[in-house]
């Protein structure tokens, strides 16, 4: 059953992702569609965070998958820029899946971090993630996502991009503009590090 409300915290987000795999055996697969139904298709922040989490999960280690999820990010963020109310992704993305056992282990590793983030996050600097600020965040996500395909050839380099995109999504969930600024800093810092490395 698709969720009609969006997650209220990072711990809530992880709990919904875990619930998508409930009732499955360890060898069974959990699809992107099931995960998106769990977090809510109409929520920009949760979907961006979900895409970022999937991209750094075991599923993101498959060649070509980071580029696919970069496309997902661009698709979702682009729909925000044009005021699309019902977010859409193509079926070939939604059919991608990860083993339930690997998903559960990945989420378990994230829970301590989730508790710490939820403990310090609070509504602040909300202009950065509402109205025009939300569209600027969406544009930043598109620009960061465009760096993922070339970064895929460098081991772990794309993780920086996904951390930035995940921070933007999390900032919308928690209504915390400070986290959006952190995402921007990660994106700029990662870009500068890669640029200087190339030079």
Domain boundaries of the chain, sorted by first residue: 10-198
- Residue bearing the bigger pLDDT, 171 or 87: 171
User: Residue 199 — very low, low, confident or very high, per pLDDT cuts 50/70/90?
Assistant: very low
% of the chain residues with pLDDT over 70: 89
197 pLDDT above the threshold of 60: no
Residue 41: count of CB within 10 angstroms of its CB: 17
194 pLDDT above the threshold of 70: no
129 and 137 in contact (C-beta within 8 Å)? yes
User: Residue 23 — very low, low, confident or very high, per pLDDT cuts 50/70/90?
Assistant: confident
Q: What is the pLDDT of residue 108?
A: 92
**What value does the mean pLDDT of the chain take?**
84
Question: In whole angstroms, what is the distance from residue 129 CA to residue 168 CA?
Answer: 8
Could you read off the pLDDT of 86-105 as tens digits, one per residue? 677 778 878 888 888 888 88
- Listing DSSP states for 59-128 in one string gives GGGSTTHHHHHHHHHHHHHHHHHTT-SS----HHHHT-EEEHHHHHHHHHHHHHHHHHHHHH--SBSGGG
Q: Which of 5-14, 38-47, 68-77 has the largest mean confidence?
A: 68-77
Question: In whole angstroms, what is the distance from residue 80 CA to residue 130 CA?
Answer: 11
Question: In whole angstroms, what is the distance from residue 38 CA to residue 7 CA?
Answer: 10
Show Cβ contacts of residue 158 under 8 Å, excluding neighbours closer than 6 positions: 55, 66, 147, 148, 151, 152
Could you read off the pLDDT of 105-134 as tens digits, one per residue? 889 999 999 999 999 999 899 888 888 888
29 and 98 in contact (C-beta within 8 Å)? yes
């Amino acid at each position: 059953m698709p969720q009609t409300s969006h997650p209220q915290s990072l711990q809530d987000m992880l709990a919904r992702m875990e619930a998508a795999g409930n009732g499955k055996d360890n060898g069974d697969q959990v699809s992107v569609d099931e995960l998106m139904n769990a977090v809510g298709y109409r929520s920009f922040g949760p979907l961006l965070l979900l895409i970022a989490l999937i991209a750094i999960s075991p599923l993101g280690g498959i060649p070509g998958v980071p580029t696919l999820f970069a496309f997902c990010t661009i698709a979702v963020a682009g729909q925000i820029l044009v005021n699309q109310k019902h977010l859409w992704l193509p079926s070939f993305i939604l059919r991608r899946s990860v083993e339930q056992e690997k998903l559960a282990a990945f989420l378990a590793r994230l829970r301590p971090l989730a508790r710490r983030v939820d403990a310090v996050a609070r509504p602040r600097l909300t202009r950065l993630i509402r109205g025009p600020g939300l569209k600027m965040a969406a544009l930043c996500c598109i620009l960061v996502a465009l760096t993922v395909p070339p970064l895929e050839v460098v081991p772990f380099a794309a993780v920086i991009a996904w951390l930035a995109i995940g921070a933007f999504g999390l900032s919308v969930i928690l209504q915390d503009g400070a986290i959006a600024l952190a995402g921007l800093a990660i994106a700029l810092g990662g870009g500068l590090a890669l640029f200087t490395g190339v030079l």
